[in-house]
Amino acid sequence: MSTKELKRLFVLEQSVEGKLTVKEAAELLHLTERRIKQLKKEFREKGVTAAIHGNANKPSPKRTDKTTEERILGIRKKEPYCSSNFNHFREILKEHFDIRISYSALYRLLTEHGIKSPKKRRKKRRVYKTRERRPAFGMMLQADASPFNWFGGEKKFSLHGLIDDATGKLTGLYLCENECLLGYLEVLRQTLISFGIPQSLYPDRHSVFFYTPQDKDKLSIEEQLSGCTKKVTQFGKIVEQLGIDMFPAQSPQAKGRIERSWNTLQSRLPVELKMRGITSMEKANLFFEKEYINLFNEQFSVEPKESYSAFVPIPHTIDLDRLLSVKLERSLSSGSTISICNKLFKIEQDRFSAREKVTVLLSKKHGLRALISGEFYPIYPIDDISYAEDVVRTGDFPTVVVSLLHHFFLSDVRLGHFPEGVKYSQNN
């Protein structure tokens, strides 16, 4: 018998013997006087069993049957389900195996068999005052990137994201090898196409968004002549053109909404990618844009205080493909050539003079294009192209620019599809 049942037995004995009144017994057992009278009658008829609850030692009618429990344990042992946290695993059982079980029952079953959730329990940390959410959807988007081994293994990739402050909705996700301009341009592209132009962005002080205090006042001659008073990054110029305010967070805690979303994504996304057999950035990015962002928002977003949207439509005069490209400024050499990553590239037209200014635009959609006097021209390499699996920082370009150059030119070259006159060599 339990301690509670022993106490009930003692009080009933005292009450039957007349040592306690019905009222006193009711107060001691936190029961009504009517219930005490019923228990006294049962005690006289059945004895000790009156103190024991009728359902004691009986299995619950709602308990999961043994066959289902064994099936759940068998599923849990398999990849990638063994890597999921308990709540995510419960959702997987319902969606993919038509098994419905409460969280408490699943937790009991798994822990009884020595299975622990892979989701780490955090130590208690300093509590920060919660900042109130923005009242309307689109008023402020938090921006960040999270380096993590999203495909398992040891190699980390950076997942870029934008999340709405009012609702917790993801408006864009994009995976790159490292945190870079391209990643943020792509999540901005997704946001603009799906929702429109937000009022403001709230990133950290990453160099994609802001120059360091030491560099922000170092203006080039061209910038001084154009009337600039401080240096603005390429991303900063783009959001200015779109009329988006951008201000930096002073700490990770300041943009806690997206930081907490990374914890959720790091726990769930690797399992979702494994379940679908996705092992490449290209397929992952397609999955995010076409499917996963909507799944995440349906499950984790909240209703804003205000029902209106602060997003505004994109003006028809804006060319998104041109605006959201990585831009490199170059001057033409003789023969309409330019140098990128220490390799010579040629513009198809020969009618340009030396030292003419060229804006090279690089994007995942269009590859490499030259913009001269408002017109676009194709570019192709005329130097030997060397490919190495480990792309490193080259000259003044970030890794992502070098990676894109290799992607657009070498993907064709490795298949033998390269322009006439282009030489190709592979360094192993």
Do residue 180 and residue 259 come from a single domain? yes
Whether a cis peptide bond, with omega within 30° of 0, leads into 80 is: yes
404 lies in a domain?
Answer: yes
- The answer to the question of residue 121 being in a domain is no
The pLDDT of residue 418 is 37
Number of domains in the chain: 4
Q: State the CB neighbour count (10 A cutoff) for residue 360.
A: 20
**pLDDT for 216:** 53
On whether both 149 and 296 belong to a single domain, the answer is yes
The answer to whether residue 265 sits within a structural domain is yes
Query: Do 379 and 295 belong together in one domain?
Result: no
Task: Assess if residue 191 is contained within a domain.
Answer: yes
In this structure, the answer to whether residues 381 and 414 fall within a common structural domain is: yes
Contact 397, 341 (CB under 8 A): yes
- 193 in any annotated domain: yes
- Is residue 105 in some structural domain? yes
Residue 82 domain flag = yes
Together in a domain, 43 and 80: no
pLDDT value at position 196? 96
User: pTM for this structure?
Assistant: 0.72
Which CATH number does the domain housing residue 146 bear? 3.30.420.10
* Domain that residue 190 falls in: 141-300
Token digits of residue 361: 């635009």
Residues 280 and 379 in one domain: no
- Per run of 10 residues, the mean pLDDT along the chain (length 428 residues) is 81 87 90 89 81 63 80 90 90 91 91 82 60 91 94 91 95 92 92 96 90 61 50 90 91 77 92 94 94 95 94 93 87 82 77 84 81 85 54 46 59 38 38
Verify that 198 and 281 share a domain, yes or no. Answer: yes
pLDDT at position 231, please?
81
Q: Quickly list H helices, 226-368.
A: 234-242, 256-275, 281-287, 293-300, 320-323
Same domain assignment for residues 37 and 73: no
Q: Are 272 and 147 part of one and the same domain? A: yes
Residue 218 lies in a domain: yes
